[in-house]
Amino acid sequence: MSEVRSKMYRCYALVILLLALSRAYAGTSCEPIWEEDFTGPLDQTTWNVIEGDGCAEGICGWGNNEAQSYDAAGVSIADGVLNLTAYTDGQGEIRSGKLTTAGKHSFQHGYVEARIRLPQGRGLWPAFWMMPEDQQHGWPLEGEIDILEWTGHEPYRLIGAIHFGDLPPDNVHYSETLRAPAVWSNNFHTYGVEWSRERIAWYVNDRIHGVATPAEIAPWPWVFDEKPFYLIVNMAVGGTLGGEVVPQDLPATVEFDWIRVYPEGCRTGLSSP
């Protein structure tokens, strides 16, 4: 083989390698396996509208001493955006919106992200998170993945977390936080989680801000590979993380522009902020 031809083959191999790396690490060629863009009425075949204060499920205050009761009036879609609104009703009770895909759409491993604009107001606690389907052993023995939690009393801080361990009060959680010089509620941002057998990584605007691995939660088992998980979006008020309720800061709305789920590997390796 001539030297010129050898160089050509090496260049060709390098191009192929770079393309493969681009696909594996940037994920630009990956397509969503599921997405919701909220361009029409709420899809009842995908979403469950949650109602009540948790007492019917045996967890009044939704297990966190939350102040709101969920109802359908707290959920709306306008101009291609899902709005979950916390408000005070005519009787002075706090109402809000919550949706899940339980029993309708779930997945196991991959990358899930949403474009979200956070609200402004004290006592607010919006979240984008996942729970396992068909739980049989009680929370949090089969895990919980919190993609995004934010509170109005700490508007510069974002939280990503996983919950595991034994039944309360012996439950355990591992969390990562990201603080910014400006509040997160002024603009839309993308928030995501990469979920694989090796790790769970949290992203903001396509940049990693935290990682959890089986080694980091040992000796507790890595329970996040046992079942598919479904999606949850909600706007809580008050409670153990939301803090003091300030009624004059209501109504307040968290906005979801879109939600997407990608196959495993599509977002691995993006850089830190």
pLDDT in tens, 141-179: 999 999 999 999 999 999 999 999 998 888 999 999 999
pLDDT bracket for residue 29 (50, 70, 90): low
Please give the helix or strand (H or E) that residue 210 lies within, else none: strand 207-212
What is the rounded average pLDDT of the residues 88-97?
Answer: 96
Among 144, 176, 194, 255, the active-site one is 144
What integer best gives the mean pLDDT of the chain? 89
Cα–Cα distance, 46 to 273 (Å, whole number): 33
Cα–Cα distance, 234 to 101 (Å, whole number): 12
pLDDT of residue 89: 96
pLDDT of residue 62: 96
Q: Does residue 81 have a pLDDT over 80?
A: yes
Q: Does residue 192 have a pLDDT over 90?
A: yes
144: annotated active-site residue: yes
pLDDT of residue 188: 98
- Put simply, whether the predicted model's pTM sits higher than 0.85 gets the answer yes
**CA distances from residue 90 to 71, 75, 104, 225 in whole angstroms, order as listed:** 14, 17, 34, 45
66: annotated active-site residue: no
Is there a contact between 161 and 149 (Cβ–Cβ < 8 Å)?
yes
Among 36, 113, 142, 149, the active-site one is 149
What is the rounded average pLDDT of the residues 242-254?
Answer: 96
